[in-house]
Amino acid sequence: MRAWEIHGMMQKSNFLIRRAGAQNAADIARIEKLCFSSPWSEASVISTMENQDSAFFVAEVDGQTVGYIGSYFVLDEGNITNVAVMPEFRRKGIARGLIEALKECAEEKELSFLTLEVRASNPARLLYEKMGFSEVGVRKNYYSNPVEDAVLMTLFFERNR
Ligand code: COA
């Protein structure tokens, strides 16, 4: 196990954030179904984990997977695929913990930035702003079901400024 996988673990009050693998893909797909209108399937999660340089983390409460973050890397860029927390576990700092774990991993990999797309109407934009992301662009009508613009948000790591 590489060092940054160990540093990616953290205990925060009543939840645990840890590095995920293919054995977590079914739980991740279950959370996707609960949280998104066009969810990723278990097979797409496994395919991203196996075919790309990627990092996924899950959040557990009493052994139950209640949230996750997915990402893949291209050269020095980190792309966040999704962040999701089950409805009954929201506003407890779990998404913040997941993003912190990924930030730590990205810094150890010496990435230049982390980037993501979010629906224009999604209040998750506030979460990302709080975590240091800023808006860098808009993709018109990027999403379907329903059709909506995507806002591009990026977190640049300090050493590159
Ligand atoms: N409205 C306003 N601010 C919000 C928010 C919301 N719905 N969710 C998070 N925040 C902000 C708040 O400032 C919050 O701090 P506070 O609770 O002390 O006010 C801070 O972010 C940290 O939130 P946290 O508790 O870590 O987030 P969470 O665990 O509830 O998860 C999401 C946030 C977005 C992941 C969760 O609501 C979710 O799964 N939504 C559906 C899936 C989704 O849209 N994911 C994003 C795709 S890009």
For ligand 1, atom 17, which residue shows the shortest CA distance? 91
Looking at the DSSP assignment, which residues form a beta bridge with residue 79? 72, 115
For ligand 1, the distance from its centroid to the CA atom of residue 26, given in whole angstroms, is: 23
Is residue 158 part of the annotated active site? The answer reads no
- pLDDT, one tens digit per residue, over 58-117 is 999 999 999 999 999 999 999 999 999 999 999 999 999 999 999 999 999 999 999 999
Say if pTM beats, i.e. exceeds, 0.95: no
* Residues 119, 150: Cα–Cα separation, whole Å: 5
Residue 14: strand, helix, or coil: coil
Within a 10 A sphere around the Cβ of 124, how many other Cβ atoms?
Answer: 15
- pLDDT, one tens digit per residue, over 13-22 is 589 999 999 9
For ligand 1, atom 35, which residue shows the shortest CA distance? 84
Q: Which of 64, 102, 108 is nearest to 83 (CA)?
A: 102
Q: Length of the chain in residues, anyone?
A: 161
